[in-house]
Amino acid sequence: MMRLTNVLISALALGLCLSAPVAQSNNKSLSAASGSTITGRVVARGKALEGAVITVWQGYDEPTPSTTAAKGRTDADGNYELTNVSPGNYYISATAAGFVTGKENKFPANLRLLIIVGCNAIDPINFELLPEGVIKGAVTDAAGKPVARAPITVFPESLPADVGPRRYARDLSTDDQGTYKVSGIPAGRYRIAAGYQPVAYATLSGRVGYRRVFYSDANDEASAKVIEISEGSEVTNVNINLGHPVKTFSVSARIVDSQNGKPVEDIDYGLDVFSNGKRIGGAHPRGRSNSRGEITIDNVPPGEYSIRVPGGSGLWPAGEIPPAPNIFGESKRFEVADKDVSEIEIRVVRAATVSGFVVIEGSVGMDILAKVPQMHIVALVMPKPGGANPIMRTNIKPDGSFVFRGLLPGKLQFNFDAPSVGGRMPLRLVRTERDGVRLDSDPEIVAGDQITGLRVVLGYANSSIHGIVKLDNGPLPPGVVGRAVVLQYGKLVDSASLDPHGEFRFQHLSAGGYTLAVFAHGANSPEWKAEQQLTIPDDKVSEVTMLLESTPSRPRPPSPRPLVPR
């Protein structure tokens, strides 16, 4: 998934003209009867580009069949037309083999936001693509022999450190002859590396472990040679020698119960890897503790580590929970240098268990109720500074009950994961209650907690807000950009960018009371803010006008999370 950190996406907004009766109609009818047509042209170096793929999708990750709203290709003149696109917030892109936008490393400039809303003309959306750049090379070992399936990493000089790899840099490795090719690169400056980071990823899975080496013959990015790529250029012979594989050692440890000192048997474990005191990765070695609580981890390369129990991390599969016993723990950090390491101890304590029921408010159809067993509740415990907790997901049983085991200390947050087959299910998590009382803040989980009586309330979410923003003395001046946010019970529900006409749209909201706020600023950096309370009904588009004072206020409010089109 692409990471969105401290960015504000400028909107490219389009309009859809609705009559008043249609605007007040049921959303299902609105979606079916008022699709928009999007047109435009794609060129490359001033010439029409035939066969370019135009994709309109929802969600900030790469488009998938379930998130794609419209797709088409350009004709011989470079023109395209996409029809019957429903109102909403989308991204739109043009792609073609051998071409790039040139903005792949300039996030979020490479994202083109499309908002279909309001009663404004839909202007053509045109694209200009550029010939791609290519880097080729070979990877060898200390004897000069090719290294097959060695991972290749690309480091664009202009890409922020906290943004994930671009599409052209994903899942790269050498072929059976030890050669590689990186295509789809925009003009810029790059560094290339081969090998594993951390190298334990390779050795613990039985592969030969080569430490990561940069071109040419550098151990870190700062010392690596920079490769200049111009528009449409190809750079070859970017060859890297990985040297000798790393030596590996064994680590022996014992898992014991912190309360009674007895060994804990038949439990899995994980190995966390550190560099300069910072966690850089983790692995899940195969194996479980024996009857004496003992474990042995083979093929461990030199480095700094800790062992955690249980070993599972990330998103647990649907319905799966950490294996009994319901415990957790972590060893002190230790160093593997040039020999085997033993006498490591992992003291474990009881983890928390949380159970409750999911209920759906409002009038919903039997088709939605029938899908309850397909739905999931996601639990995320926000750990204390320096901690790391897995995200867990569990099925909702036919009677609406759920249970989470293996929760670590921290603040508990819930989310709702609905099946996406047949389109987005019109449900949204509204609130969480305990013993009939709404929780206005995330509950704190401590070791060994047995929390019951939780009630996760879902609301039927088939309502929308269509808003327009104006100054109190007239329309917004040209060049104003801004965003609208919806809050409920003091928590952010959704956000949306304003189009150039000052319009915005929220979809998939539950009926009820909300706080709607708008922030906007012009070219000369004035700031406007407006806020109002509103109550929206079921299955309706609520029309809202937000008036901003013509005399702007300061200072500029902090930005909420970036827009995630829905």
Give the CA dihedral 260, 262, 267, 268, nearest 10 degrees.
90
For residues 154 and 190, is the Cβ–Cβ distance under 8 A?
A: yes
Residue with tokens 């004709």: 75
- What is the model's pLDDT at position 61? 74
> Is-contact 187 230, C-beta < 8 A?
yes
Strands 88-95 and 113-116: antiparallel
- Under the banding of pLDDT at 50, 70 and 90, the label for residue 409 is confident
pLDDT band at 38 (very low <50, low <70, confident <90, very high): very high
Structure tokens at 221: 């990015």
CA atoms of 339 and 348, how far apart (whole Å):
27
Which of 384-388, 407-411, 450-454 holds the top average pLDDT?
Answer: 450-454
> Residue 300 above 90 pLDDT?
yes
Beta bridge partners of 252: 296
DSSP3 helix / strand / coil % (the chain, rounded to 5): 5, 45, 50
Between 388 and 429, the more confident residue is 429
Whether the pLDDT of residue 500 is over 80: the answer is: no
| Residue 157: both structure tokens together | 């000089």
| Residues 236-268: b if buried by 16+ CB within 10 A, e if exposed | eebbbbbeebbebbebebbbbbeeeeeebeebb
Instruction: Please give the C-alpha separations between residue 214 and each of 60, 165, 240, 242, 274, in angstroms, as whole numbers.
Output: 31, 17, 7, 9, 20
Long-range CB contacts (< 8 A, 24+ apart) of 167-172? 167/62, 167/104, 168/100, 168/104
Q: Which of 112-121, 167-176, 279-288 has the highest mean pLDDT?
A: 167-176
CA 58 – CA 66 distance, rounded (Å): 9
Domain span(s) for CATH 2.60.40.10 in the chain: 11-131, 249-312+320-348, 463-548
Task: Considering the chain, tell me which residue range(s) the CATH 2.60.40.1120 domain(s) occupy.
Answer: 133-241
**DSSP assigned state of 250:** E
pLDDT of residue 555: 47
pLDDT at position 565: 39
What rounded mean pLDDT belongs to the chain? Answer: 82
Mean pLDDT of 357-368: 73
State yes or no: pLDDT of 533 exceeds 70.
yes
Find out whether 93 and 72 touch, Cβ atoms under 8 Å: no
- From CA 249, how far away is CA 381, in angstroms rounded? 34
Phi and psi at 372, nearest 5°, equal -55, -45
Q: How far apart are CA 36 and CA 120, in angstroms?
A: 11
pLDDT at 42 over 90: yes
Higher pLDDT, 564 or 493: 493
Task: Classify domain 463-548 at the CATH topology level.
Answer: Immunoglobulin-like (2.60.40)
Q: What does CATH list as the number for 11-131?
A: 2.60.40.10
Q: What distances in angstroms separate CA 370 from CA 28, 296, 366, 457, 459, one per listed residue?
A: 20, 47, 6, 17, 16
What pLDDT band is residue 6 in, cutting at 50, 70 and 90?
very low
526 against 202, higher pLDDT: 202
**For the stretch 287-296, what's the b/e string if a residue is b when 16 or more beta carbons lie within 10 angstroms of its beta carbon?**
eebeeebebe
Highest mean pLDDT of the ranges 26-40, 123-137, 523-537: 123-137
Q: Domain 249-312+320-348 carries which CATH code? A: 2.60.40.10
Least confident span in 62-76, 150-164, 271-285, 530-544: 150-164
Which pLDDT score, from 0 to 100, does residue 491 have?
Answer: 82
Question: Percent of the chain having pLDDT more than 90?
Answer: 43
Confidence (pLDDT) at 149: 95
158 φ/ψ sector (left φ>0, alpha ψ -120 to 50, else beta): alpha
| Per-residue pLDDT, 482 | 87
* Interatomic CA distance for residues 122 and 37, integer angstroms: 8
The pLDDT tens digits for 76-95 are 999 999 998 888 888 899 99
The CATH number that domain 352-460 falls under is 2.60.40
pLDDT at 10: 28
Query: What CATH fold (topology level) applies to the domain 133-241?
Result: Immunoglobulin-like (2.60.40)
3-state secondary structure (DSSP) of residue 275? strand
Please say if the pLDDT value at position 541 is more than 50.
yes
pLDDT at 323 over 50: no
Among the ranges 253-267, 413-427, 448-462, 501-515, which has the highest mean pLDDT value?
253-267
pLDDT the model gives residue 312 = 64
pLDDT bracket for residue 454 (50, 70, 90): very high
